[in-house]
Structure 1
Amino acid sequence: MMWVLQLTCKSARDAGRSGRRRAPPSAPASPLTLVPHSRTLPAMAAQEAPQAPVSGPAAFTPCAGEGWRAPWDMYAALRDRDPLHHVDDGDYWVLSRYADVLAAARDTERFSSAGGLTFTYGERERLGITDAAPMVMLDPPEHTDFRRLITRGYTPRRVAAIEPDVRAFVRDRLDRIAGLGAGCDIVAELFKPLPSFVVGRYLGVPEADRGRFDGWTHAIVEANALGDPLAAVEAVGGLFGYFTELVARRRAEPADDTVSDLVRLLPDDDTALLRILGFAFTMVAGGNDTTTGLLGGAAELLTADPDRRRALLDSPARLPAAVEELLRLTSPVQCLARTVTADTTLHGRTVPAGRKVLLLYGAANRDPRAFGPDADRLDLTRDGPQHLAFTHGPHHCLGAAAARLVARVALAELLARFPDFAVDAAGGTFADGHYVRRYATLPFVTGRG
């Protein structure tokens, strides 16, 4: 998700696609707002007295592939022994406690997104976007204005309207899975195609175009997972060219979809086109592997906890709360980075201005300080603070409502059709990439259903 979000309309324009009516324009760069020298993060000060640097076994290694199977012990060591951890290889810092991650996510003045959301430096220069920034790399007030405009087309009605189609898609896929027999890959059969279908349906991609759309989506997600977004520039170019044409079509023939909503809200100019393309791109890049990660992780957790699964079968009304608990434990986006805008003191140590801080949402969401001593356990009745699976503050996930709907519908239908299903977590494989934890393959057994 994160790498590909940094590709710009300029990159797509350079891909040389055909059939476009006009090229997407560039947007002005977002300035970096500085704050007074040497600030102390408030949440840390309230949480505990500053502590001296801790020497010991706590260490952070970026996860990828098989490393995603069980990073929980590493997270616990960081939370307990070195809550502000410095990584020498790359010269960045890591926050792992809930209170610290929450405070940093809220504080866009001191923890800026303008430098990129990965733990590497010089992202915008390396990807050729020094003169433009996507929404995820904007800080308020530029981000606020952009997001306010975009979310006007992302209404609860629009999300609710897709539920019948989501349910029909899931049922059709479960029919197919029933005929495949034991050991079929539920990621390939359901958890991966479902979010692509939902994003396309939400954006108004006609059924006849879904094949091309799915192809672009696959290329973008895979390039992102490998940390090489430029490998997908042809797919990005095709996607942008397609949506440029779709915008023109929706101006002449409005439909009941989000692109039509945005066309009605925005003027007919290049800046508006850029914003619509950026929204479509963000949906494709950010709404696929994350939802796949949630569904795969949820299936694993429910397989391992038959009592909780039985509780959901007996009381389907618990599903919305269960989705929140599953989001907390799976945390598909495990981490994102921010750049400190001035020397910032946390836990008795100072992060120099301009250094990156990785916010470990996956560690924060399992912090016993926030969620109790059983924070690693699935508890459908848990009463705790809001999880950070969608982060928090101005950059709260734009597609959170859609992700919740997809998870609720998919799990309800899966449990109804195959109440005794099981997934073979040990036989599954994890996708590459340092930021999103998701199964790439996951063998599935239908049980007695």
Structure 2
Amino acid sequence: MTISAENSNVQTADALYYDPYSVELNMNPFPVFARIREEAPLYYNDTHDFYALSRYDDVNKALIDHETFISGKGALLEIIKSGMEIPPGTLIFEDPPLHNIQRNLLSRMFTPRKVAALEPQIREFTARCLDPLVGTGKFDFVNDLGEQMPMRVIGMLLGIPEEHQRRVADHGEATLQGQQALMASGEVFAEFIDYRTEHPSDDIMTELLNVEFTDETGTVRRLRREELLMYLTVVATAGAETTTRLIGWAGKTLADHPDQRRELAENPALIPQAIEEILRWEPPALQMARYVARDTEHYGQTVPEGSAMLLLVGASNRDHRRFPPDGDVFDIDREQHSHLTFGAGTHFCMGNALARMEGRIALEEIFKRFPTWEVDWPNAHPSQTTAVRGWESMPTFVS
């Protein structure tokens, strides 16, 4: 890349280059992010043709400004660039007012009462995953717990019988591995929709089948079958994969910081704030992409309408202006300031309380059984996905 003679805040030199499609770089992008934050707060990549914001205040304002930075053309760079038509019901790829209508419908899944009611079931399932491993000397944060728990929780939330929840979990893993036809159809949920249509119950699936709402045309109606399939697919995939990654990053991060891990083992009351720090420190989604719907000014430069903008959550979460004195330090005891891992504004993650609870329960139950661990690095493998980064396996030796 070349340095612009007009504005060195925008174009960046060869030595400063961020490739969002690099799995290897995305496992530790933070040295590059630190330089972008300070040297090119409005960054432009001419290889992939996108702009990027990296400082906390800039990213936060852009996430909230849904009129300038829209989601309706996709929230991933490759989707924006493809120009593909976004199917209806893809909540994370929609803008108000349509987004607000659909979000209000789905928010009934995540009321505080419904989330809290799941805690005993989640804890019991976690114990079932962990108990057989006691005494074996080994525990994989992802394979033994992280990839199983979140999809099972979605099943619990929807009222899917436990014997069928494994299929939902397998569906989520297939989606992560790029089998897009599965994701697009959502057919894994179809038989449960059909069953609940015939056999109503006191669960969220039945509630969503029967709820009446006013759509964007002013028509009062119920959800169509294909809309409900898409909703469930988005919720299950978006919710499960990020929580899976959170649990994997918790295993690695606390292995790298044994003193803070000891603090948590001795005082489990600190676990909720540790989960917040892990979410800030290693966000599963490093960036959120937006389509620029109108010209916008940043650092003396016009970002033209029609551009793609990456909002670098991973960079903003370590901005020392927001997280003093040094955002690149992992510290479970740091003064709490809200991070952007769950987004902001109209697309703030509906399932944030559920994800936090899953992470908390996971660590509470792990510490009861395994107060210390060391990562088995030869057998730890990064996931090959770039949209949500993390570990495909995080095996450890436990004692």
Q: TM-score, normalised by structure 2?
A: 0.89
Q: Is the 8 A contact 2:56 2:317 kept in 1?
A: yes
Specify the alignment match of 1:266 in structure 2. 212
Q: Is the 8 A contact 1:110 1:341 kept in 2?
A: yes
How far does residue 286 in structure 1 lie from its aligned partner after superposition? 0.3
- Aligned residue among 235, 240, 248 for 2:197: 248
Specify the alignment match of 1:238 in structure 2. 187
Supply the distance in 2 between the matched residues of 1:186 and 1:375 (Cα, whole angstroms). Answer: 26
Q: State the identity %.
A: 34
Q: Is the 8 A contact 2:74 2:86 kept in 1?
A: no
1:331 counterpart = 2:283:
yes
**Once structures 1 and 2 are overlaid, which stretch shifts more, 160-169 or 136-145?**
136-145
Q: Is the 8 A contact 1:115 1:124 kept in 2?
A: no
Letter in 1 for 2:208: L
Supply the distance in 2 between the matched residues of 1:136 and 1:319 (Cα, whole angstroms). Answer: 29
How far does residue 443 in structure 1 lie from its aligned partner after superposition? 1.6
Q: Is the 8 A contact 1:65 1:429 kept in 2?
A: no
Specify the alignment match of 1:417 in structure 2. 369
Letter in 1 for 2:66: T
How far does residue 401 in structure 1 lie from its aligned partner after superposition? 0.8
Q: Greater RCO between the two (CA within 8 Å, min separation 6)?
A: 1
- Aligned residue among 128, 143, 146 for 1:172: 128
Q: Is the 8 A contact 2:193 2:205 kept in 1?
A: no
Supply the distance in 2 between the matched residues of 1:275 and 1:425 (Cα, whole angstroms). Answer: 43
Gaps of 5+ in 2: 1-6, 214-219
Supply the distance in 2 between the matched residues of 1:219 and 1:76 (Cα, whole angstroms). Answer: 34
Q: Is the 8 A contact 2:295 2:305 kept in 1?
A: yes
* Equivalent position SS for 1:345: strand
Specify the alignment match of 2:216 in structure 1. none
* Equivalent position SS for 1:370: coil
Q: Is the 8 A contact 1:86 1:94 kept in 2?
A: yes
Specify the alignment match of 2:23 in structure 1. 65
1:132/1:202 CA distance change after superposition, 3 Å: closer
Gaps of 5+ in 1: 1-49
1:436/1:310 CA distance change after superposition, 3 Å: same
Specify the alignment match of 1:23 in structure 2. none
1:97 counterpart = 2:46:
no
Supply the distance in 2 between the matched residues of 1:186 and 1:325 (Cα, whole angstroms). Answer: 18
1:271/1:391 CA distance change after superposition, 3 Å: same
How far does residue 124 in structure 1 lie from its aligned partner after superposition? 7.3
CA displacement, residues 324-371 of structure 1 (integer Å, 9 cap, x when unaligned):
111111111111100111111111111110111011111110111211
Specify the alignment match of 1:359 in structure 2. 311
* Equivalent position SS for 2:242: helix
1:148 counterpart = 2:99:
no
1:308/1:114 CA distance change after superposition, 3 Å: same
CA displacement, residues 56-106 of structure 1 (integer Å, 9 cap, x when unaligned):
332211244333332111111111111111111221111111111101001
How far does residue 403 in structure 1 lie from its aligned partner after superposition? 0.2
Q: Is the 8 A contact 2:72 2:86 kept in 1?
A: no
1:123/1:146 CA distance change after superposition, 3 Å: farther
Supply the distance in 2 between the matched residues of 1:242 and 1:356 (Cα, whole angstroms). Answer: 39
How far does residue 288 in structure 1 lie from its aligned partner after superposition? 1.8
Specify the alignment match of 1:202 in structure 2. 157
How far does residue 159 in structure 1 lie from its aligned partner after superposition? 0.6
How far does residue 130 in structure 1 lie from its aligned partner after superposition? 5.4
Letter in 2 for 1:87: N
How far does residue 180 in structure 1 lie from its aligned partner after superposition? 4.2
Supply the distance in 2 between the matched residues of 1:69 and 1:137 (Cα, whole angstroms). Answer: 25
* Equivalent position SS for 2:311: strand
How far does residue 280 in structure 1 lie from its aligned partner after superposition? 1.3
Specify the alignment match of 2:141 in structure 1. 186
Q: Which runs of 4+ in 1 moved over 6 A?
A: none
* Equivalent position SS for 1:152: helix
Supply the distance in 1 between the matched residues of 2:358 and 2:108 (Cα, whole angstroms). Answer: 21
Letter in 2 for 1:212: R
1:221 counterpart = 2:176:
yes
Supply the distance in 2 between the matched residues of 1:76 and 1:220 (Cα, whole angstroms). Answer: 32
Q: Is the 8 A contact 2:80 2:308 kept in 1?
A: no
Q: Is the 8 A contact 1:431 1:437 kept in 2?
A: yes
Q: Is the 8 A contact 2:54 2:315 kept in 1?
A: yes
**Once structures 1 and 2 are overlaid, which stretch shifts more, 74-83 or 267-276?**
267-276
Supply the distance in 2 between the matched residues of 1:355 and 1:389 (Cα, whole angstroms). Answer: 23
Specify the alignment match of 1:8 in structure 2. none
Letter in 1 for 2:10: P
Equivalent residues, number: 386
How far does residue 405 in structure 1 lie from its aligned partner after superposition? 0.5
CA displacement, residues 42-65 of structure 1 (integer Å, 9 cap, x when unaligned):
xxxxxxxx9843643322112443
1:138/1:124 CA distance change after superposition, 3 Å: farther
* Equivalent position SS for 1:368: coil
